[in-house]
Structure 1
Amino acid sequence: MGRTLTEALVLSFEECKKQFEHERWNCSINHQAHRLNLIRNGLKESSFLFALSSAALTTSIARSCSSGILNESCSCDTSSFSDEVNEATWRWGGCGDNMKFSQMFLKSFLRYPPRHTSSDFPTAVDRHNSDLGIRTVKKNYVKKCKCHGVSGACETNTCWKQIKPFKDIGNDLKMKYERALKVSTDNAANSGSVELVTSSKRGGGAAPSKGQMIFRNKSPDFCSRDQYSPGTAARECNRTATCDSICCGRGYNIREVTLTEKCRCTFEWCCVVHCHICTRNVEVAFCQD
């Protein structure tokens, strides 16, 4: 399981960097203090991290089952799923990603208290976003099929359930991040549990839906170094697309840098690729301090 958890951590971190590479906050969570402050203060960015992390865990565990990495704990998902269209032309088979085991494992791994006993506002928000990550994976858990037949004829299909590429899940969660709602709490006097209510004009004071990302506190602009990020000084940017936003109006400098890359590659049968190493000078923009 240790290998799978490590893969999930790498998967979520790499996807976070891709989703925010052109924004002021570029998933700068390498610094432990920045990461902890984001999480403790319930910013929108930490909500994304909770959702993305739980999505990565769900995905990695389900895939590890189907790939045999966790063969002592789980295996392929061979469950049948109803499908009303052309049921006669396909049958369930193959090796599906095991969503059922993944969800069961995460319930104990995340260790959230029962919903009816939790009176902790931050925990309620974090749990909501973690659940959102799992739901997003389930939404991207789709039927895949392989054709069978003589001479390429697709006489029948063998089908199984498989999670889409993680970038699709990242894109989905990034859209939810863009539409995230600020929430406050209404502690129910009788039960002592936390009732989350939206506090934005769009939300209108209603309870957030399970499909919405939520956060507790407004984020800073991330322009300058603070408790949450290193700021955008010296950040690389695109002169025609992102410098104005990322540099926060401070302007940018152009520097010539030398890139080293493989080039003029040839393929030798079978199966070796030979490449030269080429260098080229390019102009790169960096935000001013």
Structure 2
Amino acid sequence: MVIVHQCWVLTVLIFGIIYPTSCTAYFGLTLSKRLPLDRLTADCKGMRLTNKQRKMCYRDSGMADTLINAIRLSTMECTSQFKNERWNCSITHEHHRLNLLKTALKETSFIYAVSSAGLTHAIAQSCSSGELDRCSCDANSFDMDINKEAWKWGGCGDNLKYSVNFVKEFLKAQKGGEKRYQDYRAKVDSHNTVLGTRVVRKRMQKICKCHGVSGSCTTQTCWRQLSPFHEIGRDLKNKYENAMRVAMDNTANAIDQSLRVRRRERRPPPPVADNNDMVFMDHSPDFCRRGQYSYGTGGRICNKSSNCDSICCGRGYNIRNNIKITACNCRFNWCCDVICSKCTEREEVYSCKS
């Protein structure tokens, strides 16, 4: 690995590929400071922004609300994607989140990716909904050479172009930033941050509305629209499952030496990480017991038929019988009431032993 100690000219080597990069500033879930996720208010001054980010926030009256929405969006999606895993995205506990950010686990990589994806998604939608003053609907389109005479661009597309440019500038670290930006770990963080934006871009879809007599589709009006964020989160979760571990060599000589040893021992070449891979550096703990990264899995509700064995880490589970009262045998009474009976249902709830 080769590092030049200015953030904006950092160069690293991952799996034999040299990547020059500019470092990334942090925002939202990736901040290495306390962030009151449960007490967020739409205030540019109170969101732990850098001076540059705060200035960009103040430029638009609706930006504070959009940034808050981005944080909430990424938090809810992380929790949703990992609700059935040992690590259930316990980032709302400040101590756990800050400890994760000190490492380069797979879970940390997901946090970086989903945070930037949430920011990109929220800004693009705020443009098209009119919540931001400095942007509007996406009037441009990707080129489509097929059937141009049969459709035209219109509607109000989500402005991904503005969003990507804003996020790139918003997350661009200032020259001479924190020391943490000047190491190999910075490249890993930056890679996963850009990955989040890239997944949002790839999930952009063309939506068309037909026009014509009696519902015929003589012509179509088409626009670009973001996919629901849950689909983006699902893509990122899949990349998390297939994330690639990268290792650091201290010097160029060490890299050359490791290559010579590999050839001498005839080891198979390592897989190559590309721009579409999520990458990490440190092996994750099992998250079974309460520790610095999570509450552990003791007391967690699980599904007997699918994940109790995994989540409970072999400790077994307790069974609790609940009585659930629901409306049943409903009928419509003219006019205009719906009359229902009350039915009781016995429900078994499984929770992991401590």
TM-score range, shorter chain: 0.7 to 0.9
Per-residue deviation at 1:153?
0.3
Superposed CA offset, 1:119-166 (max 9, x none): 422221111000000000000011111111111001100011111111
Q: Which residue of 2 aligns with 1:142?
A: 205
Aligned partner of 2:36 in structure 1 is: none
Q: Is the 8 A contact 1:177 1:213 kept in 2?
A: yes
Contact 2:312 2:352 in 1 (8 A): yes
Percent of pairs identical after alignment? 53
Task: Tell me which of 142, 167, 184 is aligned to 1:121.
Answer: 184
Instruction: From 240, 243, 248, give the equivalent of 1:180.
Output: 243
Task: Report SS of the residue matched to 1:212.
Answer: coil
Instruction: Return the alpha-carbon distance in structure 1 between the equivalents of residues 65 and 327 of structure 2.
Output: 31
Amino acid in structure 2 at the alignment position of 1:107? K
In structure 2, the residue corresponding to 1:185 is in which secondary structure? coil
Do residues 227 (structure 1) and 292 (structure 2) align? yes
Higher mean C-alpha displacement, 15-24 vs 93-102: 15-24
- Counterpart of 2:204, as a letter, is Y
Does 2:288 align with 1:217? no
Does the residue aligned with 2:118 lie in a helix, a strand or coil? helix
Letter of the 1:204 partner, please give it. P
**1:225 match: secondary structure:** coil
The residue type paired with residue 242 of structure 1 is N
Say if 2:146 is the partner of 1:81.
Answer: no
Give the direction of change, closer, same or farther, for the CA distance of 1:143–1:41 in structure 2 (3 Å limit). Answer: same
| Consecutive unaligned residues in structure 1, runs of 5 or more | 190-200
SS for the counterpart of 2:124 is helix
- What residue is the counterpart of 2:307 in the other structure? 242
Which structure is larger by alpha-carbon Rg, 1 or 2?
A: 2
For the pair 1:23 / 2:89, whether they are aligned, the reply is no
Correspondence for 1:48:
110
Query: Are residues 267 and 85 of structure 1, via their aligned partners in 2, closer, same or farther at CA, if it must alter by over 3 Å?
Result: farther
Partner of 1:287: 352
Question: Which is richer in strand?
Answer: 1
Say which SS state the counterpart of residue 234 (structure 2) adopts: helix
Residues 90 and 159 in structure 1, CA contact (< 8 A), matched pair in contact too: yes
**What is the CA distance between 1:107 and its match in structure 2?**
1.7
Distance 1:182 1:240, change over 3 A: same
SS at match of 2:347: strand
Instruction: Provide, for residues 95-122 of structure 1, a one-character-per-residue CA deviation record: whole Å limited to 9, x for no partner.
Output: 11011111121122223368xxx64222
Tell me if 1:104 matches 2:165: yes
Structure 2 segments unaligned to the other structure (5+ residues): 1-62, 176-180, 253-266
Where does residue 256 of structure 1 map in the other structure? 321
* Counterparts of 1:281 and 1:255, CA distance in 2: 10
Residues 119 and 187 of structure 1 are in contact (CA less than 8 Å); yes or no, is this contact kept in structure 2?
A: no
Distance in 2 separating the partners of 1:132 and 1:146: 31
TM-score between both structures, scaled by the size of structure 2: 0.70
